[in-house]
């Protein structure tokens, strides 16, 4: 069983080394490249103002963050959720840089820094697969026909959910070809009574990507193979298509 965690963050700005901080973390669990419906989400008080440029991107205001927990208060829950699963991140050096900077601020209690070598960077995957093309998350969603109509602003959990779909497409759409289910990205059902940042989202089956004409052509082809086709010993006639 392969467990992976798709992760995204929002921040006060773009430069962790010069004092910008995390303000939101969103994670989605994948098992064998399929979303399980389990996710982790926290807003974090950065103890510094959000820059105007960052606010324009995600719309998260200082007043909203004022009563949110510090990173030190949520780091254990974050690490418990991730466990030892590989992280999947778009433009991994950015998010990992911020996470490691937050770890460093914890002093003696700091966990080991995240090693970029063990992170799956979907931006690098996309650049190898689509050389010379635009490979932002929005561009990839457009390329793969992934619905982003709910994404009026950047948000860590929603972006992680969308990235999980993009990641599977970059791998070849494995869970679609196997007929597996993915999690439906509706409003999460929140667990717990104090802030409720761990969500469980109900599953749905992905739409079939074959057209009716393609399906009929496939059935016609199968019909030319006769009754001795090996898999007919294991599958009923209605399962071969």
For domain 3-206, the CATH class is alpha beta
- Tokens 């679609």, residue located: 176
Q: For this structure, is 154 an active site residue?
A: yes
- Local confidence band at 215 (pLDDT 50, 70, 90 cut-offs): low
Write out pLDDT tens, residues 10-63: 999 999 999 999 999 999 999 999 999 999 999 999 999 999 999 999 999 999
Question: Which residues belong to CATH 3.30.420.10 in the chain?
Answer: 3-206
Give the pLDDT of residue 195.
42
CA 53 to chain CA centroid, nearest Å: 24
Tell me which of 33, 90, 154, 208 is the catalytic residue: 154
Arithmetic mean of pLDDT, 79-91: 97
Contacts of 165 (CB under 8 A, 6+ apart): 141, 144, 146, 182
Phi-psi category of residue 54: left, alpha or beta, with phi > 0 → left and psi -120 to 50 → alpha: alpha
Structure tokens at 184: 């439906």
**Dihedral over Cα of 20, 85, 31, 169: its sign:** positive
**176 pLDDT exceeds 70?**
no
Write out pLDDT tens, residues 94-147: 999 999 999 999 999 899 999 999 999 999 999 999 999 999 999 999 999 998
Which percentage of the chain shows pLDDT scores above 70?
71
- Local confidence band at 181 (pLDDT 50, 70, 90 cut-offs): very low
Give the pLDDT of residue 201.
41
Give the pLDDT of residue 235.
46
Let me know: does 2 contact 32? Beta carbons within 8 Å.
yes
């Amino acid at each position: 069983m392969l467990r992976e965690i798709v992760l995204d963050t929002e921040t006060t700005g773009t430069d962790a080394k010069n004092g910008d901080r995390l303000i939101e973390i969103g994670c989605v669990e994948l098992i064998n490249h399929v979303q399980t419906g389990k996710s982790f989400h926290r807003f974090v008080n950065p103890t510094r103002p959000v820059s105007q440029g960052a606010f324009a991107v995600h719309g998260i205001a200082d007043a909203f963050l004022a009563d949110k927990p510090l990173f030190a208060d949520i780091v254990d829950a974050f690490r418990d959720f991730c466990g030892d699963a590989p992280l999947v991140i778009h433009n991994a050096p950015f998010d990992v840089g911020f996470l490691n900077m937050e770890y460093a601020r914890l002093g003696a209690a700091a966990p080991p820094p995240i090693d970029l070598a063990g992170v799956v960077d979907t931006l690098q995957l996309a650049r190898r697969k689509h050389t010379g093309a635009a490979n932002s998350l929005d561009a990839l969603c457009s390329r793969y026909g992934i619905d982003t109509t709910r994404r009026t602003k950047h948000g860590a959990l929603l972006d992680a959910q969308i990235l999980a779909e993009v990641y599977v497409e970059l791998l070849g759409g494995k869970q679609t070809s196997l007929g597996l289910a993915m999690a439906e990205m509706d409003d999460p059902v929140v667990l717990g009574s104090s802030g409720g940042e761990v969500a469980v989202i109900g599953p749905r089956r992905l739409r079939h990507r074959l057209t009716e004409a393609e399906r009929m052509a496939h059935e016609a082809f199968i019909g030319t193979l006769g009754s001795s086709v090996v898999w007919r010993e294991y599958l009923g006639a209605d399962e071969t298509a």
